Structure 1
Amino acid sequence: MAALEELQERWRYLYQEYLPALAAAKDTAQKQWTVHLDHCFARIVLDNAIGVDSPWTEKIKSPAIKNMTATQLQSAIDLAEKLATGEANLFELDQKSLQLRGKKEKKRKADDASGKVPTPKKSKKDATVSSYFLPSPKSPPGQKEEKDNAPDETLPKLPVKSDVDMSVQLKRIEDSSITAFRKQTLSMLCQIPRGRYSTYGAMADWISNNSHKTCARAVGNAMRNNPFAPEVPCHRILAGDGSLGGFKGSWGEEGKYAMLKHDLLREEGVRFDSKGKVKGPPFRDFT
């Protein structure tokens, strides 16, 4: 893939998938996620990184992704990554974007007496971002839903096959329309042997050392809604501390689908100790 195409793919992933996923998970990188939709993130980043003193549409033709130079793409990527890490303030950049467009500024909801910022309402768009393995913030004490502990007759029965032909799965991934980064992470899953596990961090380390800089959260987000499960074994990815990690949008031992993930791993030979930590080292021999 040419350098320009790689930058375009990275930019598309950041504004279409990564930032909306962080917003839906209420990631602590931003005190308040004032927008949640991909086109809103694109507007904010492009106005500030490309437009600077005017809307980006006055600097380049639409669609931006096809008309930006490599330098402009890199500027957009850098600012999007700063939003993801909290180095840039989403609210302030949104205000500047609105000012450039001559629109009325949004009023930030004032903190109440307790100092807490009101939680923005979820939209239908947010609901679609829930992930297979999206790292989720820990639930505040006392706010866990009771239904997570209740029997669920609708739990999916995912068969685990011992004779999965990974070459077939790799072809399915390659022929799909998912982003290049998602193809990379899902293809790496096919290398993890039955009876072994790996971690988000181990995958991120390998990608950073051999392809491009990334992080464990980005890897988890890229594996969301794995369309090839369970043959492409995303259930073999655990948290960096050896705990269960995420599964189908829920997190940890209290998650709704924790039992299902344990069943899949147990059937393959992965074992946990009495404290809920996996036994043995993670698989890192990716190629």
Structure 2
Amino acid sequence: MAALEELQERWRYLHQEYLPAMAAAKDPAQKQWTVHLDHCFARIVLDNAIGVDTAWTEKIKSPAIKNMTATQLQTAIDLAEKLATGEANLLELDQKSLQLRGKKEKKRKSDDTTSTSPNSKKLKKSMTVSSYFLPSPNSPSAKKEDKDDAPDDSMPKLPVKTDVDMSIQLKRIEESSITAFRKQTLSMLCQIPRGRYSTYGAMADWISKNSHKTCARAVGNAMRNNPFAPEVPCHRILAGDGSLGGFKGSWGEDGKYAKLKHDLLREEGSRFDSKGKVRGSPFRDFS
């Protein structure tokens, strides 16, 4: 099991940034996003994962993040990730949470009304936040060796947005409350062209030469939870030898999201050899 601090960081990211971002984007993982605020997602997940038959505040003291055990944190994380993939139904869990607290159920539009909305087809085809961080429920689970000459139709069809205005993304980064170093690394990602890749080391070298001394590990840690994905493409950063590197807290070909990172890069035009290493030289022309 991961260290307690890592679990706390993951839980904080999921309910404070990730799920609210999915709700704001009306991600099709859920038919109805019944809540949009971070504390509402925390209530729903903790009531169902920790409280179970009562409000979570009856089981642990507040704040939850400081008082949950590693096992409780992992349970909350697992349920939050199921919400993100659509394996868990947000509406049902929300209603159960309200019932546990003795509150009346919220009135919702029927699923039929939602599914026939004129915007429903657009939502399914639109770029989603979740597709960049969590495996799609429809993605094949079996691992296959990467083949450079594999036909395009053998790969999962992932929605990719090609007309991202990086000036807008740079403004989002600059106006955010993240640390100055994270702002610097995320801003550098905006310079990497679609179909190209760079490395943690290349970014660290540029920063050390032009700003202040740093290392590849520090760059990776700074990008670990990228709140501006998918528009700010952290998936375009690989290890120094051209291998996959890290993605959402896991590392290498055996990482939990390794296949997804491969698919994202190949969809953009990157190609890998039979050993899983990307072809071509890394992008280093940062400014």
TM-score class normalised by the smaller sequence: 0.5 to 0.7
Gaps of 5+ in 1: 121-128, 220-236, 245-276
Distance change (3 Å), C-alpha of 1:73 and 1:166: same
Distance change (3 Å), C-alpha of 1:30 and 1:5: same
**Which residue is equivalent to 1:6?**
6
**Which residue is equivalent to 1:35?**
35
Distance change (3 Å), C-alpha of 1:189 and 1:111: closer
User: Is contact 2:235-2:264 (8 Å) kept?
Assistant: no
Calculate the aligned-residue CA RMSD, in Å: 5.2
Q: Partners of 2:249 and 2:40 in 1: how far apart?
A: 32
Structure number with the bigger relative contact order (C-alpha 8 A, sep ≥ 6) is: 1
- Return the letter of the residue paired with 1:94: D
State the shift of 1:211 in Å: 8.3
**Which residue is equivalent to 1:105?**
105
**Cα deviations across residues 229-277 of structure 1 (Å, max 9, x unaligned)?**
xxxxxxxx9834x344xxxxxxxxxxxxxxxxxxxxxxxxxxxxxxxx4
Matched, 1:174 2:199: no
**Which residue is equivalent to 2:256?**
213
What are the within-5 Å matches in structure 2 for residues 233-252 of structure 1? Answer: 239-240=264-265, 242-244=266-268
Give TM-score, length-normalised by structure 2: 0.53
Distance change (3 Å), C-alpha of 1:100 and 1:63: same
Gaps of 5+ in 2: 121-127, 135-157, 171-189, 193-197, 228-232, 280-287
- Return the letter of the residue paired with 1:189: I
**Cα deviations across residues 161-190 of structure 1 (Å, max 9, x unaligned)?**
x9962463855983999685459x959827
Query: What secondary structure, in the 3-state scheme, does the structure 2 residue paired with 1:97 have?
Result: helix
Count of residues paired in the alignment: 210
**Which residue is equivalent to 1:67?**
67
Query: What secondary structure, in the 3-state scheme, does the structure 1 residue paired with 2:250 have?
Result: helix
Distance change (3 Å), C-alpha of 1:93 and 1:67: same
State the shift of 1:18 in Å: 2.2
Query: What secondary structure, in the 3-state scheme, does the structure 1 residue paired with 2:87 have?
Result: coil
What are the within-5 Å matches in structure 2 for residues 195-214 of structure 1? Answer: 204=247, 207=250, 209=252, 213-214=256-257
| Structure 1 ranges of 4+ moved more than 6 A | 151-156
**Percent of aligned positions that are identical:** 54
Distance change (3 Å), C-alpha of 1:15 and 1:173: farther
Moved more, 167-176 or 14-23: 167-176
**Which residue is equivalent to 1:189?**
237
User: Is contact 2:270-2:278 (8 Å) kept?
Assistant: no
**Cα deviations across residues 117-139 of structure 1 (Å, max 9, x unaligned)?**
5879xxxxxxxx989x789x859
